[in-house]
């Protein structure tokens, strides 16, 4: 049979009709019918050719292709596209990949007689790619027998691909939306939790605020926040929150959470990531025995343990939930992000508590001091702290001082006292204000008029308080009442004045008569007489010198000691003085050394010569007094230019081989009335010689210092400025 004819619908009945062919009347009718059939076939063929679907008719017995329109052919592989598939079995025509599945479908339709419909059936294209098909298989029965299977199919690749990509875009959009929504919620929660951390610098208050915020966000069954005290390895409960407490029911906070020894909370302290325990998993892991104490509670299915790390593990947050899915990504991400902030806040609160404790300790100590102590804050210049002694000394109640700014302080306007009082109060404030500007004052005497009008004198020291970065955060003033001391000093000065007069008058008389006895000795005066009179005169001179020194001290204290300086040479008088001493001193070997100097040189400067001689005499007398008989004492003079200053100076050196000065005495020897502690009591002295010497040297703009070794000797150095312009 011609292949083209196969495109006509070949009905089984046709073949039967052909087999009962007859040339009679019926034959004529048959001819008419045959013509009609042919026309019908042609019509059917044309109709099938024009339907927009691929159509193919298969023999139900062997699935051989009996007829198909050209659209169907176009769906086949290129080798079958020109109608060549007609008469071939379905298995031959189908591509290898789909063959078994499609044949199975055909067979099922043949066997069951049930129409099969496939939508967007995916068929893989050899060489890659997928095409989608909508196809239907309809069984056609003939004489009660399954005769044919009619296949109709259209390609739906472009629609399917478009639909699929539309659906995928929708899914992606929904996912993005969900992610954005989740992110928004996470940010909202994070913000709420972070904001809650601003509440309170005290750890427990902070913990409660944070738990409240967490509760509002995640509604867990139970929340507990622990801190790690400095002794690592323990946890102490800061705050807890339970579902029951939120709903004002009796608390079901398990007692074991107060001291979570051996719990998962302790384990998590040693790791940096949260630990989530779920009842279902823990049960299957451990059989029926549940190790996590919280999970053993019936209302709890899941627990999150979050370690809070800053530089160290500052604590652990525990959140327990009624359903496992509550410990979701949102919870884990939000809490993990907040963990470091919470740790930081806990560390700050811990530090704050430590500082508050330290401050309390300090205040307790300061409260006991007999000296007045006042602290002022730089930012507000308010009195931040005053101890009871300060209030008592200033004559105020503590509350009148505390928290009051300096410029409004009662110190400035004490009950509207007279202006004199306000001035003294101002002086007082001034020391603090100077300290706030960064100036330190030490040992400043201030007279204060108290609100009741009484006056006291205080010795005050004020200093700025600086932070680590150098900024001034406040100022402190410490003061002690020296009124009694001042009165004593006044009495002492009066005593000096009286003693000076009362001692000098008889001394002058004794010296006058002793002089007379020395120059006009009575007849028969022997050498013992002469020795006695000389001794009287020497001791009188010593006494006079002592009285002079005491007077000088008294003058210095009242700033009455005036130097009469004039521009003159120092070397000549120094040489004369040392030479005179060399001749009169019999016990020691005194030697003058001039370095870098000729005897005729001049050392010009502004000097009060008698006072400079007093300086040198003091140093030479001490050298003699504190060194063994027969030892050598050297007085050296040399021009000097020290490393710091470019100014010319003269350096005078008095060196002995005496007892030296102990290290613990050294800082004090230039103080008034100070004598070395382990001094031989037979060596006389008042302890004012070096004090006066230092004052006189400094009065000349000079410096004095000592180099000494205990038991080996001392060298005192005096540097005095030279030059016409060096009037200091
Ligand atoms: P004093 O009248 O006691 O000598 P000074 O003021 O002159 O008083 O000296 C104070 C103290 O310094 C002395 O008591 C002594 O201990 C010590 N000192 C002074 N000069 C010397 C020295 N050259 N050698 C050892 N110690 C000395």
- SS (HEC) of 383-452: EEEECHHHHHHHCCCHHHHCCCEHHHCCCCCHHHCCHHHHHHHHHHHHHHHHHHCCCCEEEEEEEEECCC
The finding on whether 675 has its CB within 6 A of some atom of ligand 1 is yes
Is it the case that residue 509 has pLDDT exceeding 60? Answer: yes
Burial class (CB in 10 A: 0-12, 13-18, 19+), 150: middle
User: Looking at residue 30, what is its pLDDT?
Assistant: 61
Residue nearest to atom 8 of ligand 1 (CA): 687
Residue nearest to atom 16 of ligand 1 (CA): 676
User: Looking at residue 494, what is its pLDDT?
Assistant: 78
The finding on whether 659 has its CB within 6 A of some atom of ligand 1 is yes
Q: How far is CA 642 from CA 197, 391, 473, 719, in A?
A: 62, 49, 39, 9
Is it the case that residue 619 has pLDDT exceeding 90? Answer: yes
Cα(679)–Cα(614) distance, rounded to whole angstroms?
24
SS3 of 92, please?
Answer: helix
Is it the case that residue 428 has pLDDT exceeding 80? Answer: no
Q: In the beta sheet, which residues pair with residue 459?
A: 445, 480
CA 482 to ligand 1 center in whole angstroms: 29
CA 616 to ligand 1 center in whole angstroms: 14
The finding on whether 679 has its CB within 6 A of some atom of ligand 1 is yes
Residue 674 CA, closest ligand 1 atom number: 10
Give the pLDDT band (50/70/90) at residue 694: very high
Cα(244)–Cα(601) distance, rounded to whole angstroms?
103
Burial class (CB in 10 A: 0-12, 13-18, 19+), 657: middle
Q: Which residues are within 8 A (CB) of 36 and not within 5 positions of it... i.e. 6 or more apart?
A: none
Q: How far is CA 619 from CA 129, 231, 633, 642, in A?
A: 115, 62, 11, 22
The finding on whether 685 has its CB within 6 A of some atom of ligand 1 is yes
Ligand 1 pocket test target in 661, 713, 717 with most atoms within 8 Å of CB: 661
User: Looking at residue 652, what is its pLDDT?
Assistant: 97
User: Looking at residue 413, what is its pLDDT?
Assistant: 45
Residue nearest to atom 11 of ligand 1 (CA): 675
23-57 pLDDT tens trace: 455 566 666 677 777 877 788 778 888 888 999 99
Tell me the average pLDDT across 715-728: 86
User: Looking at residue 414, what is its pLDDT?
Assistant: 44
User: Looking at residue 18, what is its pLDDT?
Assistant: 38
CA 605 to ligand 1 center in whole angstroms: 28
Is 714:720 a contact under the CB 8 Å cutoff?
no
Give the pLDDT band (50/70/90) at residue 459: very high
**CA nearest 623: which of 651, 595, 590, 592?**
590
Ligand 1 pocket test target in 548, 614, 621, 626 with most atoms within 8 Å of CB: 626
CA angle at 647 for the pair 643 and 652, rounded to the nearest 5°: 80
User: Looking at residue 548, what is its pLDDT?
Assistant: 84
The finding on whether 626 has its CB within 6 A of some atom of ligand 1 is yes
User: Looking at residue 401, what is its pLDDT?
Assistant: 84
**CA nearest 570: which of 632, 615, 620?**
615
User: Looking at residue 400, what is its pLDDT?
Assistant: 83
User: Looking at residue 234, what is its pLDDT?
Assistant: 82
Tell me the average pLDDT across 672-687: 84
Burial class (CB in 10 A: 0-12, 13-18, 19+), 36: exposed
In the block, tokens 């298989």 appear at 137
Q: In this structure, what are the phi and psi dihedrals at residue 142, rounded to the nearest 5 degrees?
A: -140, 125
- Per DSSP, 4 falls in state G
CA 697 to ligand 1 center in whole angstroms: 17
Ligand 1 pocket test target in 675, 696, 712 with most atoms within 8 Å of CB: 675
The finding on whether 713 has its CB within 6 A of some atom of ligand 1 is no
Cα(380)–Cα(378) distance, rounded to whole angstroms?
6
Is it the case that residue 14 has pLDDT exceeding 50? Answer: no
User: Looking at residue 84, what is its pLDDT?
Assistant: 84
Is it the case that residue 530 has pLDDT exceeding 50? Answer: yes
- Per DSSP, 128 falls in state S
CA 615 to ligand 1 center in whole angstroms: 13
Q: Are strands 145-155 and 441-449 parallel, antiparallel or unpaired?
A: unpaired
The finding on whether 661 has its CB within 6 A of some atom of ligand 1 is yes
Residue 676 CA, closest ligand 1 atom number: 16
CA 683 to ligand 1 center in whole angstroms: 10
158-203 pLDDT tens trace: 999 999 999 999 999 999 999 999 999 999 999 999 999 987 778 9
Handedness of CA 221, 227, 231, 232 (dihedral sign): positive
User: Looking at residue 659, what is its pLDDT?
Assistant: 95
Lowest-pLDDT range of 161-165, 322-326, 640-644: 640-644
The finding on whether 546 has its CB within 6 A of some atom of ligand 1 is no
User: Looking at residue 2, what is its pLDDT?
Assistant: 40
CA 687 to ligand 1 center in whole angstroms: 7
83-136 pLDDT tens trace: 789 999 999 988 888 889 999 999 999 999 999 999 999 988 877 889 999 999
Lowest-pLDDT range of 123-127, 511-515, 517-521, 690-694: 123-127
CA 511 to ligand 1 center in whole angstroms: 28
The finding on whether 669 has its CB within 6 A of some atom of ligand 1 is yes
Tell me the average pLDDT across 312-328: 91
Q: In this structure, what are the phi and psi dihedrals at residue 391, rounded to the nearest 5 degrees?
A: -60, -45
CA angle at 26 for the pair 25 and 30, rounded to the nearest 5°: 125
CA 564 to ligand 1 center in whole angstroms: 27
In the structure encoding, which two tokens stand for residue 39, read together?
């026309």
CA 549 to ligand 1 center in whole angstroms: 15
Ligand 1 pocket test target in 624, 690, 693, 694 with most atoms within 8 Å of CB: 690
CA 642 to ligand 1 center in whole angstroms: 26
Which has the higher per-residue pLDDT, 22 or 292? Answer: 292
Helix (H) or strand (E) holding 612: helix 609-625
Which has the higher per-residue pLDDT, 557 or 325? Answer: 325
Ligand 1 pocket test target in 669, 709, 711, 716 with most atoms within 8 Å of CB: 669
**Mean pLDDT for the chain overall:** 85
Residue 679 CA, closest ligand 1 atom number: 16
CA 230 to ligand 1 center in whole angstroms: 55
Q: Which residues are within 8 A (CB) of 718 and not within 5 positions of it... i.e. 6 or more apart?
A: 615, 616, 619, 651, 652, 653, 693, 697, 702, 703, 704
Is it the case that residue 604 has pLDDT exceeding 90? Answer: yes
Residue nearest to atom 2 of ligand 1 (CA): 685
The finding on whether 686 has its CB within 6 A of some atom of ligand 1 is yes
Dihedral, 452, 455, 456, 458 alpha carbons, nearest 10: 100
The finding on whether 699 has its CB within 6 A of some atom of ligand 1 is no
Which has the higher per-residue pLDDT, 254 or 81? Answer: 81
The finding on whether 692 has its CB within 6 A of some atom of ligand 1 is no
In the block, tokens 């026309």 appear at 39
Is it the case that residue 594 has pLDDT exceeding 90? Answer: yes
SS3 of 238, please?
Answer: strand
CA 358 to ligand 1 center in whole angstroms: 45
User: Looking at residue 599, what is its pLDDT?
Assistant: 86
Give the pLDDT band (50/70/90) at residue 646: low
Is it the case that residue 288 has pLDDT exceeding 50? Answer: no
Give the pLDDT band (50/70/90) at residue 249: low
Is 276:303 a contact under the CB 8 Å cutoff?
yes
Q: Are strands 222-227 and 145-155 parallel, antiparallel or unpaired?
A: unpaired
Cα(240)–Cα(223) distance, rounded to whole angstroms?
5
The finding on whether 689 has its CB within 6 A of some atom of ligand 1 is yes
In the structure encoding, which two tokens stand for residue 243, read together?
């579902």
Is it the case that residue 524 has pLDDT exceeding 90? Answer: no
Give the pLDDT band (50/70/90) at residue 291: low
Cα(186)–Cα(174) distance, rounded to whole angstroms?
18
User: Looking at residue 16, what is its pLDDT?
Assistant: 38
Tell me the average pLDDT across 608-620: 95
User: Looking at residue 37, what is its pLDDT?
Assistant: 74
In the structure encoding, which two tokens stand for residue 673, read together?
């009335």
Handedness of CA 579, 580, 581, 582 (dihedral sign): positive
Residue 654 CA, closest ligand 1 atom number: 23
Cα(250)–Cα(611) distance, rounded to whole angstroms?
92
Q: In this structure, what are the phi and psi dihedrals at residue 134, rounded to the nearest 5 degrees?
A: -105, 120
Tell me the average pLDDT across 601-610: 94
Q: Are strands 589-594 and 632-640 parallel, antiparallel or unpaired?
A: parallel
CA 625 to ligand 1 center in whole angstroms: 8
User: Looking at residue 283, what is its pLDDT?
Assistant: 63
In the block, tokens 């008029």 appear at 449
Residue 686 CA, closest ligand 1 atom number: 2
Q: In the beta sheet, which residues pair with residue 607?
A: 566
In the structure encoding, which two tokens stand for residue 153, read together?
């199919």
The finding on whether 658 has its CB within 6 A of some atom of ligand 1 is yes
Give the pLDDT band (50/70/90) at residue 408: low
SS3 of 172, please?
Answer: helix
**CA nearest 224: which of 189, 253, 261?**
253
CA 710 to ligand 1 center in whole angstroms: 13
CA angle at 408 for the pair 418 and 364, rounded to the nearest 5°: 105
């Amino acid at each position: 049979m011609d292949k083209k004819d196969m495109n006509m619908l070949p009905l089984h009945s046709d073949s039967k009709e052909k087999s009962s062919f007859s040339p009679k009347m019926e034959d004529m009718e048959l001819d008419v019918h045959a013509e009609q059939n042919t026309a019908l076939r042609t019509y059917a063929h044309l109709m099938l050719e024009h339907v927009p679907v691929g159509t193919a008719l298969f023999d139900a017995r062997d699935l051989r292709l009996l007829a198909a329109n050209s659209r169907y052919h176009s769906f086949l592989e290129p080798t079958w596209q020109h109608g060549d598939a007609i008469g071939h079995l379905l298995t031959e025509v189908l591509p290898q990949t789909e063959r078994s599945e499609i044949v199975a479908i055909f067979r099922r339709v043949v066997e069951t007689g049930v129409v099969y419909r496939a939508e967007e059936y995916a068929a893989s294209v050899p060489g890659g790619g997928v095409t989608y098909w909508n196809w239907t298989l309809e069984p056609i029965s003939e004489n009660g027998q399954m005769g044919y299977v009619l296949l109709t199919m259209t390609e739906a690749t472009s629609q399917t691909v478009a639909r699929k990509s539309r659906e995928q875009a929708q899914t992606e959009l929904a996912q993005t939306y969900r992610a954005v929504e989740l992110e928004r919620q996470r940010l909202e929660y994070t913000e709420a939790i972070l904001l809650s951390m601003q509440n309170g610098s005290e750890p427990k208050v902070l913990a409660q605020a944070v738990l409240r915020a967490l509760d509002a966000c995640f509604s867990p069954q139970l929340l507990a926040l622990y801190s790690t005290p400095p002794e690592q390895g323990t946890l102490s409960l800061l705050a807890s929150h339970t579902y029951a407490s939120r709903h004002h029911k009796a608390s079901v906070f398990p007692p074991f959470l107060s001291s979570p020894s051996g719990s998962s909370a302790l384990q998590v302290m040693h790791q940096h990531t949260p630990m989530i325990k779920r009842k279902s998993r823990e049960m299957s892991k451990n059989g029926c025995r549940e190790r996590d104490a919280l999970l053993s509670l019936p209302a709890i299915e899941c627990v999150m343990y979050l370690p809070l790390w800053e530089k160290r593990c500052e604590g652990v947050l525990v959140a327990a939930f009624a359903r496992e899915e509550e410990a979701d990504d949102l919870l884990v991400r939000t809490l993990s992000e907040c963990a470091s902030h919470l740790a930081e806040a806990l560390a700050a609160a811990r530090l704050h508590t430590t500082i508050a404790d330290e401050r309390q300790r300090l205040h307790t100590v300061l409260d006991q001091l007999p000296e007045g102590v006042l602290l002022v804050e730089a930012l507000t210049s308010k009195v931040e702290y005053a101890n009871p002694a300060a209030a008592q000394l200033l004559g105020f109640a503590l509350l009148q001082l505390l928290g009051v700014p300096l410029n409004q302080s009662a110190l400035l306007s004490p009950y509207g006292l007279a202006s004199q009082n306000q001035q003294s109060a101002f002086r007082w404030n001034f020391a603090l204000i100077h300290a706030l500007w960064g100036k330190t004052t030490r040992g400043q005497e201030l007279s204060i008029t108290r609100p009741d009008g009484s006056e006291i004198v205080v010795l005050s020291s004020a200093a700025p308080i600086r932070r680590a970065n150098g900024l001034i955060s406040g100022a402190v003033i410490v003061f002690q009442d020296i009124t009694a001391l001042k009165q004593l000093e006044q009495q002492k000065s009066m005593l000096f004045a009286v003693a000076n007069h009362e001692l000098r008058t008889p001394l002058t008389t004794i010296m006058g008569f002793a002089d007379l006895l020395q120059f006009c000795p009575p007849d028969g005066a022997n050498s013992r007489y002469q020795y006695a009179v000389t001794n009287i005169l020497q001791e009188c001179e010593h006494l006079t010198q002592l009285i002079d020194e005491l007077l000088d001290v008294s003058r210095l204290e009242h700033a009455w000691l005036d130097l009469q300086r004039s521009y003159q040479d120092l070397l000549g008088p120094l040489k004369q003085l040392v030479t005179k001493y060399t001749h009169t001193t019999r016990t020691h070997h005194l030697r003058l050394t001039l370095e870098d100097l000729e005897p005729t040189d001049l050392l010009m400067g502004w000097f009060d010569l008698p006072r400079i001689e007093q300086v040198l005499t003091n140093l030479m007398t001490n050298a003699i007094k504190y060194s063994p008989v027969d030892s050598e004492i050297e007085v050296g003079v040399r021009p000097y230019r020290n490393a710091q200053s470019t100014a010319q100076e003269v350096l005078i050196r008095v060196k002995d081989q005496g007892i030296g000065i102990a290290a613990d005495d050294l800082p004090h020897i230039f103080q008034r009335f100070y004598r070395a502690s382990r001094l031989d009591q037979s060596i006389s002295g008042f302890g004012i010689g070096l004090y006066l010497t230092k004052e006189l040297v400094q009065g000349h703009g000079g410096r004095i210092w000592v180099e000494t070794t205990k038991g080996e000797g001392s060298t005192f150095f005096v540097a005095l400025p030279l030059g016409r312009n060096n009037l200091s």
